Amino acid sequence: MPSTHPASGAARDHFQVLIIGGGTAGITVAARLRRAGLCDIAVLEPADVHWYQPLWTLVGGGRAPLGVTHRPEASVMPRRVHWIREAATAVDPEARTVTTAHRTIGYDHLVMAPGLQLDWDAIPGLGAAVGHGAVSSNYAFEYAPYTWELIRGLRSGTAVFTQPSGPVKCGGAPQKIAYLAADHWRRQGVLDRIRVVLVLPADSMFGVPVWRRALERVAERYGIEVRLNSEMTSVDGAARRLTVADHSIGAEDGLAFDLLHAVPPQRAPGWVERGPLADPASPYGYVEVDKHTLQHPRHRNVFALGDVANLPTSKTGAAVRKQAPVLVANLLAEINGEHREQRRYDGYTSCPLVTARGKVLLAEFDYDQRPAPSIPLLDTTKERRDMWLLKRYGLPALYWRGMLKGLV
């Protein structure tokens, strides 16, 4: 049966603001709207557990327990926000309604924040292979601990780390686990017996030159074989073989492995991709949105942020932290009929690039790929211990106690 947050009272079928998604983006926006005094808000979210996904890399690298990455969804839902524990299946922006398996809900204003979906079956064999044998992925909580099990157990052979083409959550994560694994093997004295291969779809290791050069040095330090303009196109988990396509020369070759960390292709949820809010320019079905105002260009009462928004920046929690106040300000102006200059999001995102146990490069940049440092006087283009402490302890605390409360 449909249910709502305990503070919401009886189930209703219309809200002033309906937020689809109770993840990072949805909860942050709901909390900020409540702090701004808005009362008629609903969050559509079926999950009972809320995950802090940025730590899954450290879980896979043996540097954090899985238990610290989640809390009950009820504990992060803002007070006096209606929690509808159902999943959206369709949206009709002309009728201003969202459909679930149980009912149709009306709205005055809509915030799209349902996240994205992991498309394991887009790579033949990956869905069947992941989670057992020699194949894992930190992109799902159930597999992240298995990544560490595989890394810890490998003493020789070939370890392959892949990233698919297209936008993925935290574009640096596919590399981070390779560095954590190589650092562990070096400390165990077995790195020289392990061939480490990093398969990346872009023509460089990172889009911003200063961090690209730093990562090139990290890969060289570990002796990692970096294959650019390349991606895994199929995998046979039982045979422990995969196929890599090199797009720069238009060729494919097979590669045997003893450990594979694979990142699945990612796209918008199917109902979003097939729906009227999707950006026709996005091959992955993400929501069309003005990259500065976060407002849908064809439906002024619709906004989007986070992973589902088709924005030319990395899909990270740090990006959401900067997007949320812009979206909320512009949404409130729309609700109040204020004709003023809209707040603008500059594309800021951040990626703490873990390069070893206890070492992090903090990459912060904007739409123009320009460095956008937020911590004065610190050179975050170098590997730093304090940035590791920020990644492991500071950012999770900021997330649970500040961001999800609408405070930062």
**Four-CA torsion 225, 227, 231, 237, nearest 10 degrees:** -20
Please state, in angstroms and rounded to a whole number, the distance separating the CA atoms of residues 268 and 284: 6
Judging by beta carbons within 10 Å of its beta carbon (0-12, 13-18, 19+), is residue 301 exposed, middle or buried? Answer: middle
**Angle, alpha carbons 357-358-363 (nearest 5°):** 105
Active centre residues (catalytic): 170, 351
Residues in the chain, how many?
408
**Those residues with Cβ within 8 angstroms of residue 60's Cβ, 6 or more apart along the chain or in another chain:** 136, 138, 144, 145, 147, 148, 151, 177, 180, 261
DSSP designation for 7: G
Q: List Cα–Cα distances, 212 to 2, 160, 168, 314, 329, in angstroms.
A: 49, 20, 18, 15, 35
H or E, element range at 49: strand 49-51
Please state, in angstroms and rounded to a whole number, the distance separating the CA atoms of residues 44 and 86: 6
CA angle at residue 54 from 49 to 59, to 5 degrees?
Answer: 85
Locate 166 and state its tokens: 């297209």
Integer Cα distance of 4 and 82 in angstroms: 6
Q: Are 223 and 234 in contact (CB under 8 A)?
A: no
Residue 168: which residues within 8 A CB-CB, separation 6 or more?
139, 174, 263, 265, 266, 315
